[in-house]
Amino acid sequence: MSEQPATTDRADLRADCASCFGLCCVALPFAKSADFAVDKVAGSPCSNLLADYRCGIHANLRERGFPGCTVFDCFGAGQKVSQVTFSGRGWREDQSTARRMFGVFPVMRQLQELLWYLTDALARTETREIHDDLRRRLDEVERLTRGSADELAEVDVAGVRAEVDELLLRTSELVRSKFPGRRKNRRGADLMGAKLKGADLRGSKLRGAYLIAADLRGADLRGSDLIGADFRDADLRGADLTGSIFLTQAQVNAAKGDAATRIPPALSRPAHWQGS
């Protein structure tokens, strides 16, 4: 059994757009809305995508009506599909390659997301008793991401996620158990627009909770399970999310924050946050 927590380095699970063929700008669809200024079907390049696979309005996405692009995170799936699965071959040269590349990108993204959660779990001393199981599962998922395009297309992502989730639930219990008192279970709760300013949510289970536009200013979310929680337009100014479980960059990007908001060291402070 592991005696020390695994490394917290998650560089391979962060998007490296310079090593990707703009896959999120082509493979995925989006609809004209508050998040996107236009409609786009899956497999069709965004009109803002340049010949070098860069975004022509990257520095002004929010101002140009594309805030949804600033929230999306591929967990490093883009560069892995581009450079590993397809060995650096771009989709513009071959329509057959394009179809296969666009097809496996969503699969890879889900597997990379699971790797993010498993790495988070392994980095915690509270989970030492299940480190061997976590490491074994992480290695299995990593092996799937290294498969061929045909092998990736056949992956039962739902089945893999179900197996991983058993360990993630155990991780949540182990981490949250260190917080005294009755820990709130608000799994899947409708907390849209909720007034939670200054709330003590330490060790809470907020899995899949709808926190859209919730007022969480100054709230204490340390050690809370945030997997799948919807933070779109949630106000996290002054909130403390250090030690929170399974928080992702996409969730942080979707929220509002400021210089006083505390986030886990594995995440980056969004440029649109006040004081950033």
pLDDT digits (tens, 9 = 90+) for 35-80: 999 999 999 999 999 999 999 999 899 899 998 998 899 999 999 9
Tokens (6 digits) for 208: 């899949």
Residue 86's φ and ψ, nearest 5 degrees, are -110, 15
What is the structure's pLDDT at 276? Answer: 58
Residue 3 scores a pLDDT above 60: no
Strand partners, 226: none
Residue 88 scores a pLDDT above 80: yes
Residue 258's φ and ψ, nearest 5 degrees, are -150, -170
Tokens (6 digits) for 185: 């279970």
Which CATH number, 2.40.50.90, 3.40.50.2300, 1.10.1040.10, 2.160.20.80, labels domain 181-276?
Answer: 2.160.20.80
Least Cα distance to 216 among 170, 262, 168, 159 occurs for 262
What is the structure's pLDDT at 183? Answer: 75
In angstroms, what CA-CA distances link 125 with 3, 6, 117?
Answer: 9, 9, 15
Q: Whole-prediction pTM value?
A: 0.92
What is the tens place of the pLDDT at every residue in 127-174? 999 999 999 999 999 999 999 999 999 999 999 999 999 999 999 999
* Confidence bin at 9 (pLDDT 50/70/90): low
Mean pLDDT over all residues of the chain?
Answer: 92
* Confidence bin at 22 (pLDDT 50/70/90): very high
pLDDT more than 70, % of the chain: 96
In angstroms, what CA-CA distances link 22 with 180, 223, 252?
Answer: 46, 35, 22
What is the tens place of the pLDDT at every residue in 231-265? 999 999 999 999 999 999 999 999 999 999 999 99
The domain locations on the chain are 11-176, 181-276
- Go through 109-138 and write b for each residue having 16 or more CB atoms within 10 A of its CB, e for each that does not: bbbbbbbbbbbbbbbbebbbebbeebbebb
How far from each other are the two terminal CA atoms of the chain, in whole angstroms? Answer: 41
